[in-house]
Structure 1
Amino acid sequence: MDRKALRAAFPVTLPVLMGYLAIGIAFGLMLQEIGYNFIWAFFMSLTIYAGSGQYLGVTLLATAASLGTVAVMTLLINFRHLVYGLSMLEKFRGMGLRKLYMIFSLTDETYALLSSAQAPVGVDPKRFYFAIALLDHSYWILGSVIGAVAGAVLPINTTGIDFAMTALFVVIAVDQWQSYSRHLPALIGGGVTILFLLILGQLFGQQQMLIVSLGVIVLLLLILRDKLEEKEEKEVC
């Protein structure tokens, strides 16, 4: 691993460190409460690495859900990553085998950093991106293990602790809004979601509404991709 890239990436990932320790600890506490110790927390965070998906996983494990249910729910809750992947095609180009890890590690928070962070002068951009992804992953694993260990040795009431993930999403959204002058993608995402929640939420439930709204968002972003990129180039110039 390139130490220069790690040193450059660490300050950039400090906000994620603070957030991942908090929500990772919350996940570890919840997992410990249903009878799974820190070893499970470590390997789930190492191999699954999906914050909201792992929070959902706690409920699925507690209720002994079938594999079919697990597959469908995981697809629903992580479908947004399709949009993330499409927007990262150019940044991940030419990364070799590291590209596979970059795809695996593209969480909401890592995506937010990769979308806005620029490699310092003298640091290879590809190694810089890889270092960001690796550091974020390590923070999540650390928080999960700490939470599971703490839950085993301390009497902690976990009621409402799962809201930590929602709170982090809100913070990321606000930061992205302030960092970019172009708010059209965010307005499309929010507007479409609210529209289909009002139209389909009561009729078909939130799961079906989520699939439809995410599909429409992806379609609109693909249609507007050239215009958005053209506008971004003009702003840079």
Structure 2
Amino acid sequence: MKRFSSTTLKTAFVKSIPIFCSYVFVSMAYGMMMASAGFPWYDSLLVSLTVYTGAFQFVLITFLSSGASLITIALTALLMNSRQSFYSITFLKEFKQMGRRKLYMIHTMTDETYAVNCTLDLPKKEKEDTMFLVALFSRYYWIVGSVLGGILGQIIPFDLTGLDFCTTALFLIIFIDQWEKAEKHTLALSPL
């Protein structure tokens, strides 16, 4: 098993904190919604281990509850997650150098990990290790949050209104961080 330097571990952990802040609430909301739909906590775990895309996991609750066909589920997953293949294309050069970790990196590329990876300004090897650890930490956060949400959802009824804003807040934090680092803001203002 590969050992990572303490500096790389610390850097990756610190860089993953905004993802943690978003994922812990969103994944717990997912777990709670699974519980409110009648699924046990371990179904939240199983889905989070096999499907790593929050938006689709929320849609999957409805599909599983309504008995949707496997083809409907598969096509919806493909369409909803196709944008993430473009994220991976951006980092193909780095991923090719990562050996066996390449497939894991492609699988775990989310909006949030992409945003954090775009901010990394590190030497090549340290950047690859940091990217991998950010992906690993992020996936761990999502899985733990899903399970906690599933358990809490079975024990305590919750009003889930507003928890979906967590991801938007994460992007605002990353945007502000990039804004403060950039000399020109024309590109950032172009969508307005």
Query: Which range, TM-score by smaller chain?
Result: 0.7 to 0.9
Residues 6 and 79 of structure 1, relative CA distance in 2, 3 Å threshold? same
Residue 69, structure 1, aligned to residue 72, structure 2: yes
1:184-207 superposed Cα distances (whole Å, 9 cap, x missing partner): 5995xx69xxxxxxxxxxxxxxxx
- Could you say which residue in structure 1 is the equivalent of 2:146? 144
Whole-Å Cα distance in 1 between the matches of residues 189 and 78 of structure 2?
22
Q: Identity percentage over the alignment? A: 31
Gaps of 5+ in 2: none
Higher relative contact order (CA closer than 8 Å, sequence separation 6+): 2
Q: 1:101 aligns with which of 80, 93, 104?
A: 104
**Structure with greater Cα Rg:** 1
Q: Once structures 1 and 2 are overlaid, which stretch shifts more, 63-72 or 138-147?
A: 63-72
Cα distance change, pair 172–78 in 1 and its aligned pair in 2 (3 A): farther
Q: What secondary structure, in the 3-state scheme, does the structure 2 residue paired with 1:143 have?
A: helix
Q: CA deviation at 1:93?
A: 2.2
Rounded Cα–Cα distance in structure 2 between residues aligned with 1:166 and 1:128: 22
The residue identity in structure 2 corresponding to 1:125 is K
Map 1:68-217; keep pairs closer than 5 Å. 68-119=71-122, 124-158=126-160, 160=161, 163-164=164-165, 167-168=168-169, 170-171=171-172, 174-175=175-176, 178=179, 181=184, 184=187, 187=190
For 2:30 and 2:84, locate their aligned partners in 1 and report how far apart those are by CA, in whole Å.
21
Q: CA deviation at 1:170?
A: 4.9
TM superposition score normalised by structure 2: 0.84
Change (3 A) 1:70 1:185: farther
CA distance in 2, matches of 1:122, 1:174: 24
Q: What is the CA RMSD across the aligned residues, in angstroms?
A: 2.6
Deviations, residues 28-85 of structure 1 (Å, cap 9, x unaligned): 0001111112211112112211111111111211221111211222122112112212
Contact 1:8/1:128, CA 8 A, preserved across alignment: yes
> How many residues are treated as equivalent by the alignment?
187
Q: Which runs of 5+ in 1 are unaligned?
A: 192-237
In 1, the alpha carbon distance for the partners of 2:185 and 2:60 equals 35
* Structure 1 range deviating more: 176-185 or 8-17: 176-185
Label 1:130 to 1:34 Cα distance change in 2 as closer, same or farther (>3 A). same
**SS state at 1:90 partner:** helix
Q: Is the 8 A contact 1:6 1:132 kept in 2?
A: no
